[in-house]
Structure 1
Amino acid sequence: MNIIAFYKSPLFLRIVFVLSIAIIFFIAAITFKHINALSDSSNRVLNTYNVAVELEKMYTYVNDLETAKRDYIASNDQTIKFSIKIHQKEIEKALLKVEKITQDNKTQREYTKILRGLINHKYHIVNIILAKDYSNGVLGSTELNNDFLSGKKVMYDIRKVINKMIAVEESLLLKRNSIYQNNQKTTPLYIYLTLLVTLGLLVLSYVKMSKDLHNIKSYNNELIVANKSSSLSEIVGNYGTWQLNLETHEYTFSANEYRLLGYEPNAFKANLEDFMKHIHPDDKETVQEVNRKMIHEEYLPSFTYRIYKTDGELRYFRASGRVVINKSNERILIGTTTDVTEEIIANHEIEERNRILELNNKELQAFNYVASHDLQEPLRKIETFISRLIDKDFNSLSESGQQYITRINASAGRMRILIDDLLQFSRTTRAEQVFAKVDLNELLENAKQEQAQLIEEKKAIINADELPELEVVPFQIQQLFSNLINNSIKYSKENIPPIINITVSEVEAEKEAKFLPNGYNKFYKIIFSDNGIGFDQEYADKIFTLFTRLHNKDEYAGTGIGLAICKKIIENHKGYIFAQGEINKGSSFTIYLPKEA
């Protein structure tokens, strides 16, 4: 689609509108996503702080537990056992919280397992201490000192693990801070850019709507002019237009539709009943039937009927129509009514002239046929009496009389050949031509049989390729082959046996430079070539003209009709024939016959 045409189309505005809505939703989605990401980054940063705080709290509780243990060793105060239990519960709460908030981090989960093991070991040491009685103990004794320092190693290990976990969280804190800051920067940028794009699309839509509004005003002006031009065209073209709403069955007539009937525009409400009053009585039933089909099939084929105008003048109307769907999705049958009275009258005159011409042609054809046959009757009598005169009284005649009789006999023979050729030519020009699919090889054999006597006398040699099957007029193609063989033998060199070569090939029209295709693409190209006397190439077209001869009738017999018959036969088959010759080297006749008739 052309870009400019697409920009001007209503589809472009719809696409921009839908795209703007989509981008607004996209902005909302992006904003929501980035706010979620920002919130998530914030939660992750807070989670890192919470892990560090809980670890520190837990270590403080462990440290308090260690202090309470030492106080118990030093004072053997049984009430300290209660505070130790409280410290253990606080440690458990902190440890569970650390396990919960670090469960999505594999490294921290491993450290938490180690930490729980150390704390459990710490509990074990404390429980052993609590099971002892230090009331009689002496401060500074070896056992007392060992119990007093028994949790130091565990405390060191706990501190070490906590420090590693805090280090991991500090590392995560750096990354999460970076992500958080990046989200803080990119989120407004995304929102700003998408808002700019949306604003651009809205501005583009506004510009497009403004232009469309201007175009609508311009189109309205053009439409007014077009309506006036259409009305004028209807008057000049002598036609009117009408519409039938297939949903409401309401008609609308143009101004000239009324004028065609002899009324002023809008003289009556457009309806079928008032229009039918003007239909010729003999055509009313036909028009009503067409109208029923039109409503049922939603199509009005072109048809002609007669009407009477308001002044009683008889006119011929031609109507046609087709269905369209308007913007309201209503089916509207739009039709035209054309006054074709002059055309109908002219056609009647042409038909009458054609009828007279056809009668004249039949009479002329009958005259030609009868004349040709009637000419043969006196000719037969002339030939009969000359034959008797030669047989009985030829020797009794003077030398000059014998020459006259000989010339009369030769002239009568030439006249018989001429009449036969004229009959053949007439036969090829008649319209009664029945095509049939036949084997051209059979027709060639039949043609050779027709020329058998001449072939034998001249000792002619005929070489032929395998010919195809074609849709042809059989007797005409046989006549074509016979004439071409006769022509090659007739114009052969003296004392040299004629050699006729017949070749065939399948060709495409566009690859042959000799002619323009006449609707057929593929042809059979058949060439008759000989070794005869040939002819000058400047006469290649002239030899196909009726009664044209290139040689004196005393040198070579003939009427000048044979090749004209060949050309007419080829034309009857929508083909082509061309001649090519060279004096004393021979001639060739190239025939093109369509592969499919």
Structure 2
Amino acid sequence: MPLRFITNSERFLKIIFGLTLFVVLVMGGLAYRYVKELTKSIDEVQHNYEVHILLEKMVSALKDAESGKRGYIITKDSTFLEPLLTNSDTFQYSLAQLEELTKKNPEQQKNIEELRTKVEKNLAIFQKTLQLANNNNIDSPEFIEAFKEGRRTMNSVRFKIKQMAAHETNILGTSRAKSYKNLNNAPMVVYYVIILSLLILLLTYLHISRSLKILKEKNELLETFKKSTTQSEIISKHGNWIWHVEDNIYEYSDNLYRLLGEEPQSFEPNLENYLSFVHPDDIEKLTQHVEEMKENEDLPFIHYRVIQKNGIIKHFKAYAKLLVDSDGYKRLLGTTADITDEIENYRIIEKRNLELERSNKELSSFNYVASHDLQEPLRKIQTFLSRLEDKEKDNLSNNGQLYIERIKSSTSRMRSLIDDLLQFSRTNKSEEALADSNINILLETAKHDLAEIIADKRARISSDSIPSMRVIPFQIKQLFLNLLSNSLKYSREKTAPIITISYSRTNASALPNVKYSKYYAYHTITIQDNGIGFDQEYAEKIFVLFNRLHNKTEYSGTGIGLSICKKIVENHNGYITAYGNPDIGATFTVYLPIT
């Protein structure tokens, strides 16, 4: 699974978890807030209820005291004074409780002080009227005035108590309104929070579902990749291993066991067990490499041998690179390959190179023989023929003279053939270094070597200016020489040869019959003549060694010249093509890579 996918999934789930936790905390806070508001509202209702009860008790006590006072005044019965004396204590106690309940309310505290003053005044008036009544002064103006004053004081006490009750009622109403508003908002807020939570949970579910689907696909892909890797290890004869740096433990792939000739996971993957398979002559070297690996946490390419239990010796090549993950955990990922076949192939190639070197020496010996030993008898034959022709020509019959001419022609052809073979063998070697060369000068040099035949045939040769190239100068000169000689040789009778040499650049994609090229573009040199031409069906055959399209009696030649041209172009990683039209002319196109 890609690391980016895992990281993004973990980050997303952490964000979702954080949001969910936040929502839960918000919901808990809101619930706590509304429960607290509700508790506060209940406490306030209870508080108001207690205050009202006390106020009602006080009103009841005042009414009983007032009734007892009147009954006593009318009947002079002292039993009417008992409620007055009892309710007086009750009134004082209730007043003290009321003062305690409303201690956080400055306005009610003020009302209580006023109420206490009024009650005390009312009691004082009550004592005065009671004294006057005891003295039988109920008809005196003083008693009447005191009695009226008592009623007014009692009314003011009642009014104050009603005022205090009304104040408590207002407080209760405001508190209820506030609580009602909060409690009305609570379901809406909780509803929205629940909806948001459900959306978050739905989003989380969708993401987890998608992640699990992707994870399943990745796991299937990993499983496929694992099987493919296993097959690749088997086919390519290599095995993988991991060294966990901090823990100093190893992991071996199944195919690494197979490379050692063992069953997968047949022994514990550790260094000691592995070294038991290493060739005794390579143990010290490999151990030193392992120590350097542990010290440098790196393993460059190393080579060593192992011996399987069946006695077969295998050549191994190993390489490892350090990998550090996002947590800083270090692992050395290694690959060990069986290169026994490569070693054997290398030895075979070395053997073949030695054979090729011997063949080259033999070819060099042949070139020497061809250039010296074979040409020496030809020179003697030509010398004796010349002497025979000079001294015995008149004594020879016509048939004898014809035979001499045929021998001279054959020896000339033999010399040309040997020279061309030597030229082809030298052209077959491409050890000469490439050099920046003026192609125009090489072309002029080739024309200069052909000046005599050009003059004899009154040929006209025109050429474009050709840029400098990195070539083997001698071979390119030989290329021009052979192509120009070919056009001059195969010219039409009684028609002066006209040879046109043009230059252009060609993209690699436009090369004929070439599917792939490592070069981008090519120098293109075209040599066109007005000679006898050829059928296009022979366009490939004319480059084959010793292949001739015309009888040797019609046109001289050995059939090697165009083969030399092809070999020169191939030595330069180029291509040559031919296009012919009978009795109209031939066109040779040379493509040399631009480097």
Query: TM-score of the superposition, structure 1-length normalised?
Result: 0.63
SS at match of 1:408: helix
Distance 2:228 2:434 in 1: 53
Q: Which amino acid aligns with 1:415?
A: M
Distance 1:540 1:237 in 2: 44
Q: Which moved more, 1:578-587 or 1:256-265?
A: 256-265
Q: Structure 2: which 5+ runs fail to align? A: 27-184
Residue 307 in 1 paired to residue 306 in 2?
yes
1:354-433 equivalence runs, <5 A: 354-371=353-370, 373-433=372-432
TM-aligned CA distance change 1:509 to 1:188, over 3 Å: farther
Q: Render the CA deviation track for 1:106-165: whole Å, top value 9, x for unaligned.
A: xxxxxxxxxxxxxxxxxxxxxxxxxxxxxxxxxxxxxxxxxxxxxxxxxxxxxxxxxxxx
1:159-558 equivalence runs, <5 A: 196=195, 199-209=198-208, 239-254=238-253, 257=256, 270-273=269-272, 275-276=274-275, 278-295=277-294, 298-309=297-308, 314-326=313-325, 328-371=327-370, 373-513=372-512, 515-558=514-557
Q: Which moved more, 1:397-406 or 1:307-316?
A: 307-316
Residues 257 and 337 in structure 1, CA contact (< 8 A), matched pair in contact too: yes
Distance 1:517 1:259 in 2: 39
TM-aligned CA distance change 1:357 to 1:209, over 3 Å: same
Deviation at 1:411, TM superposition (A): 0.9
Deviation at 1:522, TM superposition (A): 1.1
TM-aligned CA distance change 1:490 to 1:215, over 3 Å: closer
Deviation at 1:249, TM superposition (A): 3.5
**What's the counterpart of residue 86 of structure 2?**
none
TM-aligned CA distance change 1:398 to 1:532, over 3 Å: same
Q: Which amino acid aligns with 2:202?
A: V
SS at match of 2:547: coil
Deviation at 1:397, TM superposition (A): 0.7
TM-aligned CA distance change 1:466 to 1:22, over 3 Å: farther
Residues 441 and 466 in structure 1, CA contact (< 8 A), matched pair in contact too: yes
Residue 11 in 1 paired to residue 8 in 2?
yes
TM-aligned CA distance change 1:527 to 1:216, over 3 Å: closer
Q: Render the CA deviation track for 1:452-494: whole Å, top value 9, x for unaligned.
A: 2212222222211111111111111100000111111111222
Q: Which moved more, 1:402-411 or 1:348-357?
A: 348-357
Residues 369 and 423 in structure 1, CA contact (< 8 A), matched pair in contact too: no
Deviation at 1:270, TM superposition (A): 4.3
Deviation at 1:446, TM superposition (A): 1.4
Distance 2:190 2:394 in 1: 131
Q: Which moved more, 1:209-218 or 1:534-543?
A: 209-218
SS at match of 1:18: helix
Q: Which amino acid aligns with 1:548?
A: N
Deviation at 1:496, TM superposition (A): 2.8
Deviation at 1:231, TM superposition (A): 7.6
Residues 482 and 562 in structure 2, CA contact (< 8 A), matched pair in contact too: yes
Q: Which moved more, 1:6-15 or 1:558-567?
A: 6-15
**What's the counterpart of residue 582 of structure 1?**
581
Deviation at 1:224, TM superposition (A): 8.8
1:120-135 equivalence runs, <5 A: none
TM-aligned CA distance change 1:502 to 1:199, over 3 Å: same
TM-aligned CA distance change 1:384 to 1:574, over 3 Å: same
TM-aligned CA distance change 1:578 to 1:191, over 3 Å: farther
Q: Which amino acid aligns with 1:449?
A: H
Q: Which amino acid aligns with 1:529?
A: Q
Deviation at 1:501, TM superposition (A): 1.3
Distance 1:7 1:242 in 2: 25
Distance 1:516 1:240 in 2: 37
TM-aligned CA distance change 1:22 to 1:393, over 3 Å: farther
SS at match of 1:549: coil
Residues 460 and 499 in structure 2, CA contact (< 8 A), matched pair in contact too: yes
**What's the counterpart of residue 591 of structure 1?**
590
Which structure is larger by alpha-carbon Rg, 1 or 2?
Answer: 2
Q: Which amino acid aligns with 2:520?
A: N
Query: TM-score of the superposition, structure 2-length normalised?
Result: 0.63
| Coordinate RMSD, CA, aligned | 4.2
Q: Which amino acid aligns with 1:287?
A: L
Deviation at 1:531, TM superposition (A): 2.0
Residues 16 and 201 in structure 1, CA contact (< 8 A), matched pair in contact too: no
Q: Which amino acid aligns with 2:249?
A: E
Q: Which amino acid aligns with 2:502?
A: T
Distance 1:585 1:232 in 2: 62
Q: Which moved more, 1:242-251 or 1:424-433?
A: 242-251
Residues 575 and 593 in structure 1, CA contact (< 8 A), matched pair in contact too: yes
Deviation at 1:552, TM superposition (A): 1.8
Residues 509 and 516 in structure 1, CA contact (< 8 A), matched pair in contact too: no
TM-aligned CA distance change 1:190 to 1:566, over 3 Å: farther
Q: Which amino acid aligns with 2:332?
A: L
TM-aligned CA distance change 1:533 to 1:342, over 3 Å: closer
Distance 2:216 2:465 in 1: 75
Q: Which amino acid aligns with 2:523?
A: Y
Q: Which amino acid aligns with 2:12?
A: I
Residues 27 and 191 in structure 1, CA contact (< 8 A), matched pair in contact too: no
Distance 2:202 2:332 in 1: 41
Residues 16 and 204 in structure 2, CA contact (< 8 A), matched pair in contact too: no
Deviation at 1:212, TM superposition (A): 5.0
Residues 323 and 333 in structure 1, CA contact (< 8 A), matched pair in contact too: yes
Residues 523 and 595 in structure 1, CA contact (< 8 A), matched pair in contact too: yes
Q: Which amino acid aligns with 1:14?
A: R
Q: Structure 1: which 5+ runs fail to align? A: 30-185
Identical-pair percentage:
46
Residues 526 and 592 in structure 1, CA contact (< 8 A), matched pair in contact too: yes
SS at match of 1:505: strand
Deviation at 1:284, TM superposition (A): 3.7
Distance 2:586 2:309 in 1: 75
Deviation at 1:381, TM superposition (A): 0.9
Residues 306 and 316 in structure 1, CA contact (< 8 A), matched pair in contact too: yes
Distance 1:302 1:537 in 2: 55
SS at match of 1:324: strand
Residues 430 and 571 in structure 2, CA contact (< 8 A), matched pair in contact too: no
